[in-house]
Amino acid sequence: MGMSRIARVFLLFVTVIVIGASGYKILGGEEWSFLDSIYMAVITLSTVGFDEVRELTPNAKIWTIILISFGIGIVFYAFSQATELILNINLLRRNKMEKRASKLKNHFIVCGYGRMGKVICEEL
């Protein structure tokens, strides 16, 4: 359950980076290497804000706007999935502990095993 979500989010990130880089490569022409295109896609999606690798054409600027819009959406989606995964893990642990505690019979829970707690435990 959890790993497939992580894998989906990771695959989504990689897909958007590859699509973004492909867009820059197509719009930039031969002067853009694929490494330049990937670099531009990553700094755009991460909203780092470094200067462009090459001068952007108007079409490449529109592509950047679209890429940023998708990137922000994907980051929010990834955070929501990670948060849900963490909450589910904590809920699972809590349910497991409650199940174990409900099976216990004829026992006492001593909070604070100091001098008084030690005396109480000896009396039990």
Q: Are 41 and 24 in contact (CB under 8 A)?
A: yes
Range of the domain at 75: 2-123
Residue 1 confidence (pLDDT) above 60: no
Interval 54-76: pLDDT, tens: 788 889 889 989 998 888 888 78
Q: Which two tokens stand for residue 110?
A: 């001593």
Dmax of the chain from CA atoms? 85
Domain count, the chain: 1
Return the CATH number at 81.
1.10.287.70
27 secondary structure, DSSP code: H
